[in-house]
């Protein structure tokens, strides 16, 4: 059990160029001991963000300022998850920019193995394992896809599945305009009711970007692909910008486009941009900026 009566806590907008965009995560720093899983889950419920990250000192005598190795776990309001990209970026941002850590790279010990976060000026790059999808889709997902796409069901091009992440990938025809993707509003309760086996815990909608379908940023740069991600089974109706979803999307689009480096946008209401670099060791580098929005303390008694 953590010995402190209070712990530092932050909210951070990850993959955000300015505050109140990108994907918000809470980051709690644990200096001495640990919190019980029950306390971590209750705190994640209290914060009520898509993920709350818990960063813990591994060795007695280490500090957030000087160490380069930490334990990292992530909790949604409903449950613990094995991988969360944006909350890893958020955690690294807190250590780099709030705790004054001077390391060039940080290693996080997680349930998905070691994750490395590096900084370059104000950008943070995280290395995550690739999770390429396949055409082996679980049975009985047709109704779920219909509910998710609504009026755009006729624009369905292909369906894929990532077993390692339990994410369903719904590919749309590239003629679908970015604004149409942004207007889709699937019913989270109906999605959960349509599929209850546990084989699907998230649905990604994606399509190839082009000048013609409006997939360009404010400077006119074309996104290689755009997406949205829904995970009501994890208590997340829609995740604004999802690193884990891009471990599935990146290997797929890299193969389709024949590119190792890509530029992507997740088109939620908050939205966020990701720079992507495929590696030959089965990992993918995701890069973006993060903005610290809130700093305070959580009281434990």
Catalytic residues, by residue number, are 51
Beta strands in the chain (DSSP E): 6-14, 23-30, 52-57, 69-75, 80-81, 105-110, 113-120, 123-129, 156-162, 167-172, 202-208, 225-231, 236-239, 261-266, 272-278, 283-299
Q: How far is CA 50 from the centre of its chain?
A: 9
| Contact yes or no for 104/118 (Cβ under 8 A) | yes
Q: 35: Cβ–Cβ under 8 A, 6 or more apart, which residues?
A: 1, 2, 28, 43, 54
CA distances from 130 to 41, 167, 236, 272 (A): 27, 13, 22, 20
Please state at what angle helix 243-257 crosses helix 85-93, rounded to 10 degrees.
Answer: 120
- How many CA atoms does the CB half-sphere of 64 hold within 13 Å? 22
Residue whose entry in the numeric block shows the structure tokens 């305070």: 296
Give the CA dihedral 281, 128, 272, 164, nearest 10 degrees.
100
| Contact yes or no for 270/232 (Cβ under 8 A) | no
| Contact yes or no for 3/33 (Cβ under 8 A) | yes
């Amino acid at each position: 059990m953590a010995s402190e009566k209070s712990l530092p806590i932050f909210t951070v907008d990850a993959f955000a160029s300015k505050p109140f965009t990108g994907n918000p995560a809470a980051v709690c720093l644990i200096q001495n001991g640990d919190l019980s899983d029950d306390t971590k889950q209750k705190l994640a419920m209290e914060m009520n963000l898509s993920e709350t990250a818990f960063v813990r000192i591994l060795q007695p005598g280490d500090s957030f300022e000087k160490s380069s190795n930490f334990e990292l776990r992530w909790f949604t309001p409903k449950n613990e998850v094995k991988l969360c990209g944006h909350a890893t970026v958020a955690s690294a941002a807190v250590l780099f920019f709030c705790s004054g850590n001077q390391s060039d790279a940080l290693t996080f010990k997680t349930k998905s193995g070691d994750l490395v976060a590096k900084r370059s000026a104000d950008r943070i790059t995280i290395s995550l394992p690739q999770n390429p999808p396949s055409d082996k889709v679980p049975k009985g997902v047709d109704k779920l896809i219909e509910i998710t796409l609504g009026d755009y069901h006729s624009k369905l091009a292909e369906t894929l599945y990532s077993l390692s992440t339990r994410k369903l990938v719904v590919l749309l025809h590239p003629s679908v305009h970015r604004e149409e993707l942004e207007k889709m509003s699937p019913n989270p309760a109906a999605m959960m009711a349509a599929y209850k086996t546990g084989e699907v815990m998230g649905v990604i909608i994606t399509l190839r970007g082009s000048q013609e379908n409006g997939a360009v940023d404010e400077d006119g740069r074309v996104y290689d692909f755009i997406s949205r991600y829904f995970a009501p089974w994890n208590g997340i109706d829609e995740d604004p910008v999802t690193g884990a979803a891009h471990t599935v999307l990146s290997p797929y689009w890299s193969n389709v486009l024949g590119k190792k480096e890509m530029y992507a946008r997740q088109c939620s209401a908050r939205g966020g941009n990701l720079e992507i670099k495929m590696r030959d060791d089965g990992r993918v580098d995701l890069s973006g900026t993060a903005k610290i929005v809130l700093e305070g303390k959580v009281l434990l008694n």
